[in-house]
Chain A
Amino acid sequence: DAGVIQSPRHEVTEMGQEVTLRCKPISGHDYLFWYRQTMMRGLELLIYFNNNVPIDDSGMPEDRFSAKMPNASFSTLKIQPSEPRDSAVYFCASRQTGSSYNEQFFGPGTRLTVL
C-alpha cells in the first residue's frame, strides 16, 4: 500500500489567497484526521471524519478553515482567506475500524507558508 498521500508537499502563498490541501487515505480506512503542527502549539487535531462524515470539528480554528470528504478516498482542507499565522505543517492521518486500537497512519504532511 502507498500509505497516506498528501499534496502538495510544500505550499507558499500570499496572505488573502485561498489554499487547498489534499489527502488520500489508505484504501479501506474509514477514519480520516487532519492535524496542524506548529512550534507554539505542537500537534493539534483539527477535524476528523468517519465514513466521509465530519464527526468532530471542534479543533478547527475559525470559519476561514473548512474540510470536506466527498468520497472514501479523498479529503480537502481549505483555508480562505489565508493569513501568516496559518503557516504550519498540516498532516492527514487515517485508521481502520477494527484495527489496532486507534492506531493512526500519518501522511508526510504539507508545509504551508503564508507570506
Chain B
Amino acid sequence: AQSVSQHNHHVILSEAASLELGCNYSYGGTVNLFWYVQYPGQHLQLLLKYFSGDPLVKGIKGFEAEFIKSKFSFNLRKPSVQWSDTAEYFCAVTPGKTGANNLFFGTGTRLTVIP
C-alpha cells in the first residue's frame, strides 16, 4: 500500500531561518505530489503540486519543493520563513495518472515560527 512519511513532527524556527520539511513516499510507479498547508483554524490549502516536467516546483508564498525520483522524496523548502508561516504542513501523493484523486496524506509537520 502507498504510504507517505513526514519525519519532522514539529519544527520550531526563528524568523528568517531557512526551512526544509522532509517527505518520502513508497510507490514505485508514476506519482503526483502535493504540499498542503493548514493555518490555525483554517482549511487545507494547496501550496504547490508536481505532476510532470521540471522537478523543482515553485508554489505560493515563496515555497518550493524538489521531486527526487531516485530518493522517493518531495521536500518542501523556503529560504526565509516568516511568523505567518506558522501552520501545519501536509505532504500528499496520488499514484498513477489520476491527477488529484485518491490523495494519500502524510502525518503532517507542525511549523512554529518564533518572531
- Are A and B subunits of one complex? no
Q: Spell out B's residues near A (CB within 8 Å).
A: none
- The interface of chain A, by Cβ under 8 A from chain B, is none
